[in-house]
Amino acid sequence: MLSSSASRPANALAIIALSAVFLAACSGADATPDTSTIAPIPIALGNVTREVVSRPVTATGAFGPKDEVLLSFKIGGIVARVSVDEGDAVSQGMQLAALDLREIDAMLTKANIAVEKATRDVTRLRALQRDSVATLAQLQDAESALAAAQADRQTALVNREYAVITAPVSGRILRRRVQPGALVSAGQELFTLGSDARGRVVRVGIPDRDAVRVQEGQSATIQFDALPGQTFSGRVSQRGAATDPRTGMVPVEVTVTGAEMMPAGTVARVAITVPSAAEVTLVPIEAIIEADGDSATVYSMRDGRAVRHAVRVLYIEGTRVAVEGLAGVTRVVSSGAPYLSDSSPVREVEGAR
């Protein structure tokens, strides 16, 4: 049997051997792999084309009637009745809602009584003034009091008239924000009434760099997410003269033809045809990867290696995408791009996936 002192050298040699193996493994892990042994990734290439095109101005907005009227009571009070719901068609002059009139009618009665009293005072003082019993100043004061009472009665009559909301035009109730019994304040928006008398439009906001190319009368195409594959024609009917202070965009309205079935508020995508033309670079839509806003990545091939290009997406035209940032590139990877990184070994294979 070996003593413990005799076994110590053997244990030390074992530890040294294990350490050497561990260090060799770590060294191998840190070493740069030999990419020459990596199998090339199969790719397909698509052509890069440069064409002079008229780039459309695109925007997304909401579809609805050209005219939208916000309706409210002139004075506050308790709502006695509401006669319509959202989506109801209404005709001009139709009653939509009314306040509880008891307090308003009481104020009108009070105003009428004041006018009657002031009228009697003026009649009496005119007679007294003719008999030199009353002075001219007293008569003039009474006449002024009568005029003030008549003005108060006129105010009460107007308030009584506007304690009822009627439709100013024929149209459809787009939004209703009131229930019977609610206490409302003067001017509080209770209904939105949409009128199709001047057509239906898509309202969009356009950056100033594009708005300068948009003019009234230019043609446009409109698409709705709710109707994929269908395109509607339209025309620019109005362009704002100033930017919206909240968004910095120029408001533009596009009149739409043949979309009467679409509900108000539907999201629509608009492409406005503008006459100015410029040369753009077009690549297959499959070549675009890592898209984030208007930034994306495209790969080309040089000497059997993938070359990464950061591009800016301008717009999509069918199966092609207009981009900036591919100067001198004639072909890009149209299949297999998601599997690439910069300098990846590649080989062109027709129809690769």
* Chain centroid, CA 11 distance in Å: 76
In a domain, 10, yes or no: no
Please, which residues bridge with residue 315 across strands? Answer: 322
Tell me: do 231 and 295 sit in the same domain: no
Q: Which amino acid is at 9?
A: P
Tokens of 212: 């300068």
Residue 70 CB burial class (10 angstroms; 0-12, 13-18, ≥19):
exposed
In a domain, 318, yes or no: yes
Asked whether the beta carbons of 342 and 323 are under 8 A apart, the reply is no
Tell me: do 291 and 306 sit in the same domain: yes
Helix (H, G, I), strand (E, B) or coil at 232: strand
In a domain, 75, yes or no: no
Please, which residues bridge with residue 173 across strands? Answer: 193
pLDDT in tens, the chain (353 residues): 334 444 333 343 333 333 333 333 444 444 444 555 678 999 999 999 998 877 789 999 999 999 999 999 999 999 999 999 999 999 999 999 999 999 999 999 999 999 999 999 999 999 998 888 889 999 999 999 999 999 999 999 999 999 999 999 999 999 999 999 999 999 999 999 999 888 899 999 999 888 888 999 999 999 998 888 899 999 999 999 899 999 899 999 999 988 888 888 899 999 999 887 778 899 999 999 999 988 999 999 999 999 999 999 988 888 999 999 999 999 999 999 999 999 999 999 875 54
Helix (H, G, I), strand (E, B) or coil at 221: strand
In a domain, 12, yes or no: no
**Domain end among 118, 142, 162:** 162
Tell me: do 204 and 225 sit in the same domain: yes
* CATH number assigned to the domain comprising residue 307: 2.40.420.20
Tell me: do 284 and 262 sit in the same domain: no
Tell me: do 245 and 287 sit in the same domain: no
Which uninterrupted H or E stretch holds 5?
A: helix 4-30
Tell me: do 261 and 283 sit in the same domain: no
Nearest to 106 by CA among 162, 159, 180, 165: 159
What's 345's DSSP letter?
B
In a domain, 176, yes or no: no
Dihedral angle over CA of 222, 227, 230, 233, nearest 10: -30
In a domain, 172, yes or no: no
**Domain end among 212, 238, 272:** 272
Find the DSSP H helices in 64-177. 102-130, 136-161
For residue 31, how many other CB atoms are within 10 A of its CB? 8
Tell me: do 265 and 281 sit in the same domain: no
* CATH number assigned to the domain comprising residue 252: 2.40.30.170
Q: The domain containing residue 45 runs over which residues?
A: 41-55+277-348
Non-local CB neighbours of 194 within 8 Å, separated by 6+ positions: 64, 65, 67, 68, 69, 171, 172, 173, 174, 264
List C-alpha distances in Å: 352 to 42, 341, 348.
Answer: 6, 17, 8
* Chain centroid, CA 313 distance in Å: 21
pTM of the full structure: 0.57
Tell me: do 148 and 113 sit in the same domain: yes
Tell me: do 311 and 268 sit in the same domain: no
Rg (CA), the chain: 40
In a domain, 223, yes or no: yes
**Domain end among 272, 295, 315:** 272
Count of domains forming the chain: 3
In a domain, 189, yes or no: no
Asked whether the beta carbons of 190 and 69 are under 8 A apart, the reply is no
* CATH number assigned to the domain comprising residue 119: 1.10.287
